[in-house]
Chain A
Amino acid sequence: MATPAAARKTDEQVEQSLYARAEKIYPREVHGLYARLRVLGVLGLLGIYYIMPWLQWDGHQALLFDLPARKFHIFFITLWPQDFIYLAALLIIAGLTLFFVTALWGRIWCGYACPQTVWTEAFLWIERKIEGSRLQQQKLDAQPMNVRKFRIKATKQFLWLALAAWTGFTFVGYFTPVIELGQRLLAFELGPWETFWVVFYGFATYGNAGFMREQVCKYMCPYARFQSAMFDKDTLIVSYIPTRGEPRGARKRSVDPKEKGLGDCIDCTLCVQVCPTGIDIRNGLQYECIACSACIDACDDVMDKMGYDRGLIKYTTEDEMHGGKTHVIRARIIVYATILLGIMAIFAWSLFSRTPLGLDVIRDRNQLYRETNEGLIENVYILKVLNMDDVAHTFELKVSGIEGARLHMDMPEIRVDSGAVLELPVSLRVEEGALEARSTGIEFELAAKGDPALAVTEEARFLGPM
């Protein structure tokens, strides 16, 4: 990864990169509609990432996966480890959304929203601010080391490391309260594991966005490998229109290409120079293409200068390229959308109708039943009460199923703090005459005082001598 050896080899123009013997890619800066959209996406997503942990909601951090306290705050929802299913469902929804978006708009995720793209853009921006344009960067790297080069490289590395460290700190701030984390950081009192994760995530950011860049997309990203499975003839792709562009060739602006027998492509190679993955879009659809549309911006600019129509490279679909029309509504889209909406509806319904109260009834295994001095039949249970609400509650316990059953417990009241589990031993005594079978079904009903909606019932068995 970011070894000094790798950095040295960068100076030799050609580097033995991780996967292939490849030239270092110096993406040329582009301006245009899609570049502006990407900057908007990058700024928006980075802004959300860095600011989100600092937002407060109802007296706690708005988004906090509080691992030390074993509860997740997501705005007005608090999830406990028992609610793991909701997080799993959320991941499934995210995955299906990606499928749906891919079928419709292709690799739009890769080009505008993937963290790899977003942080690479941020690191590229720093690189351009410090080292200058593509040409200046190439010239600098070709030079032998000197004071000026060292100063420039050191400044860039310092800024990269600072951004990476801040990123790592923010990451840990999602999992442990960020304000206290910041205070501990300023007092040099970070715990060993907090330090470990700040450094780990910071290093990952630095390595991925500073050095690995497009190689992550090409060689490590699972999505890049299977996204083509979601593609069909109506999926939006970035494509060069060969029928219009070929035969390509240089020409003067004043020359009529038709007279020379040329297409609209002037072979300026700007589309290749701006490509962050270093491919030539004119060779057709390639799996390396992350659909960032930098080549569209670059080519449109050239077309404007030449006085030709825009769109020699453009967002299009296979159907459209072959003279047909794009079918937005199609079986694949309907199927993905139906599954997605179905799961989202079930998820929302179950999340909002969930009772933040858990009751577990465990029978005392030591004896089936006991006869008391008064001649009553007694069964002993251990009740586990889990209060998943944000406030403490006092509960009322009732039992039903056997006429005249009397409930005894040692505690004067059932009070459970927010997020706490109470183990409550109770005994149930009935008159033998009330039992009709050896085993009778009963129900424990637990309800919060003053909040009848917060209630659960749990079935259990009562065993007797019959």
Chain B
Amino acid sequence: MAEQGIPNIQKCIAVLWPSFLVAIVATGLFFSAFDPDDLYPFGNETGISRLGAYSIGFLAFWLVSAVSGVGTLYFAVTNCMRQKR
């Protein structure tokens, strides 16, 4: 099967690495438009610093784009398997 031909570590990198790059760009764009301190409508009671908000934002962007990457990988691999059958 085609799926078995790709080592898991390679799949991980194929998903995590491009989404990492995308997350950097997305974080830069997002936080240059929005100051995290302005994003709390009722005052910042969470005690999260700006650096913390940037970091959480970055990790969230990374997660979102990684999920999309998993989808792409899944469809690419399963389509490939179907064609080989």
Q: For A193, give its contact among B7, B29, B31, B49 (CB under 8 Å).
A: B49
Q: Which of B51-59, B64-72, B73-81 contacts A (4 or more CB under 8 A)?
A: B51-59
When the two chains form their complex, are residues B35 and A70 in contact, meaning their CB atoms are under 8 A apart?
yes
Q: State A196–B52 Cα separation when bound (angstroms).
A: 10
Given A18-B9, A67-B50, A220-B17, CB of A193 within 8 Å of CB of B33: no
Given A81-B35, A84-B32, A193-B55, CB of A68 within 8 Å of CB of B50: yes
User: Closest chain A residue to B36 by CB distance?
Assistant: A70
Given A18-B9, A18-B10, A68-B50, CB of A196 within 8 Å of CB of B35: no
A193 contacts which chain B residues (CB < 8 A)? Answer: 49, 51-52, 55
A176 contacts which chain B residues (CB < 8 A)? Answer: 51
Query: How many residues of B are counted as interface, with CB atoms below 8 angstroms from the partner's CB atoms?
Result: 17
- B57 CB, min distance to chain A CBs, angstroms: 11
Q: State A15–B44 Cα separation when bound (angstroms).
A: 51
B13 within 8 A of A: yes
A188 within 8 A of B: no
User: Closest chain B residue to A84 by CB distance?
Assistant: B32
Q: State A68–B7 Cα separation when bound (angstroms).
A: 40
- B48 CB, min distance to chain A CBs, angstroms: 9
Q: For B33, give its contact among A19, A81, A87, A197 (CB under 8 Å).
A: A81
A194 within 8 A of B: yes
A220 contacts which chain B residues (CB < 8 A)? Answer: 13, 17
Q: For A81, give its contact among B7, B10, B32 (CB under 8 Å).
A: B32
When the two chains form their complex, are residues B13 and A18 in contact, meaning their CB atoms are under 8 A apart?
yes
Q: State A67–B52 Cα separation when bound (angstroms).
A: 10
Q: B interface, by DSSP: helix, strand, loop or mixed?
A: helix
Q: For B54, give its contact among A16, A67, A84, A87 (CB under 8 Å).
A: A67
Q: For A196, give its contact among B29, B49, B55 (CB under 8 Å).
A: B55
When the two chains form their complex, are residues A70 and B49 in contact, meaning their CB atoms are under 8 A apart?
no
User: Closest chain A residue to B51 by CB distance?
Assistant: A193
- B81 CB, min distance to chain A CBs, angstroms: 20
A47 contacts which chain B residues (CB < 8 A)? Answer: none
Q: State A309–B50 Cα separation when bound (angstroms).
A: 62
**Chain A 13-31 near chain B by CB (<8 Å), digits 1 or 0:** 0001011000000000000
A261 contacts which chain B residues (CB < 8 A)? Answer: none
Q: State A194–B9 Cα separation when bound (angstroms).
A: 28
Q: State A84–B54 Cα separation when bound (angstroms).
A: 16
A16 contacts which chain B residues (CB < 8 A)? Answer: 7
When the two chains form their complex, are residues B13 and A191 in contact, meaning their CB atoms are under 8 A apart?
no
B7 contacts which chain A residues (CB < 8 A)? Answer: 16, 18-19
A196 contacts which chain B residues (CB < 8 A)? Answer: 55
Taking CB atoms and an 8 Å cut-off, the chain A residues in 49-69 that contact chain B are 67-68
Q: State A191–B13 Cα separation when bound (angstroms).
A: 29
Q: State A191–B51 Cα separation when bound (angstroms).
A: 9
Q: State A67–B35 Cα separation when bound (angstroms).
A: 10
**Chain B 4-40 near chain A by CB (<8 Å), digits 1 or 0:** 0001011001000100000000001101110100000
**Chain A 169-203 near chain B by CB (<8 Å), digits 1 or 0:** 00000011000000000000001111011000000
Q: State A197–B27 Cα separation when bound (angstroms).
A: 15
Q: For B55, give its contact among A18, A70, A87, A197 (CB under 8 Å).
A: A197
**Chain A 81-111 near chain B by CB (<8 Å), digits 1 or 0:** 1001001000000000000000000000000
- A331 CB, min distance to chain B CBs, angstroms: 32
Question: Can you give 7 A-B contacts (C-beta < 8 A)?
Answer: A81-B32, A191-B49, A191-B51, A192-B52, A193-B49, A219-B10, A220-B13
Query: 18 additional contacts, CB 8 Å, given A70-B50, A84-B33?
Result: A16-B7, A18-B7, A18-B13, A67-B51, A68-B50, A70-B35, A81-B31, A81-B32, A81-B33, A81-B35, A175-B51, A176-B51, A191-B49, A192-B52, A193-B51, A193-B52, A219-B13, A220-B13
Binding site for A on B (CB under 8 A): 7, 9-10, 13, 17, 28-29, 31-33, 35, 49-52, 54-55
